[in-house]
Structure 1
Amino acid sequence: MADIHIEREHTLGLAQARKIAFKWAEQVEEKFDMSCTYEEGASEDEVSFTRSGVNGTLKVTKDLFELDAKLGFLLGAFKDKIEGEIVKNLDALLAQKKPAAKKKPAAK
């Protein structure tokens, strides 16, 4: 069995992080045929996901996303590719929520 562990710090707060986690769950359900269960908590949410050959959790707090997944024997051979895809998807969602950089006024 292969394990995947990914952590991403953020400054979004729980409400915004919750929205991203929910969107992530929708994406993996659609794109990877995962079955996801979303549980909201007072200070931490947890998305549990599973399908044949993989199961895991995405924990969401006001300042951290923490994903742990266990890959079965067959999918373990593709660990690097699967991990890369998860990182790409999560980072893309986080990038959408970053505040835009303020532009400097043009010099005259």
Structure 2
Amino acid sequence: MPNVHIVQEHTLTPKKAREAAEKVAVKLAEEFEMEYAWDGDVLNFERSGVSGTLTLTRHKAEMLIKLGFLFGAFAPVIEAKASEKMKKIFSGAK
């Protein structure tokens, strides 16, 4: 099972980092039809064939996406889109 691992550093407060993570989750949920839920500072998301986490720490956001067999071929596209969204949102860019 292919994995996508993205680490994005940030300088946001914990509250702002959580708000940014929520924006990432909403965008990915819309684009890839995923469900998501918070468990402390970890955002869990999934859909058939895809699951993952977005973990917040003081100065970074770390996303791990586990792709099932059918989605494995799309790993580069999924990684590029998720990385782009995280960079844009956690850097504070509009």
Give the TM-score normalised by the residue count of structure 2.
Answer: 0.91
Aligned residue in 2 for 1:91: 87
For residues 84 and 28 of structure 2, what CA distance do their matches in structure 1 show?
12
Q: Which runs of 5+ in 2 are unaligned?
A: none
When the two chains are superposed, the root-mean-square deviation of aligned CA atoms in Å is 1.5
Partner-residue secondary structure (3-state), 2:66: strand
What percent of counterpart residues are identical? 39
For residue 97 of structure 1, report the CA deviation from its aligned partner. 5.5
Equivalent residue letter for 1:7: V
Partner-residue secondary structure (3-state), 1:30: helix
For residues 65 and 31 of structure 2, what CA distance do their matches in structure 1 show?
17
Aligned residue in 2 for 1:71: 67
> 4+ runs of 1 displaced by more than 4 Å?
none
For residues 18 and 28 of structure 2, what CA distance do their matches in structure 1 show?
15
- The structure, 1 or 2, with the larger RCO (C-alpha pairs under 8 Å, 6+ apart) is 2
Q: Report if the CA contact (8 A) 1:36-1:49 is conserved.
A: yes
1:26-84: per-residue Cα shift (whole Å, max 9, x none)?
122222110001123xxxx1100001111010001221101111101111011111100
Aligned residue in 2 for 1:101: none
For residues 35 and 46 of structure 1, what CA distance do their matches in structure 2 show?
14
Higher-Rg structure is 1
Q: Which runs of 5+ in 1 are unaligned?
A: 99-108
Give the TM-score normalised by the residue count of structure 1.
Answer: 0.80
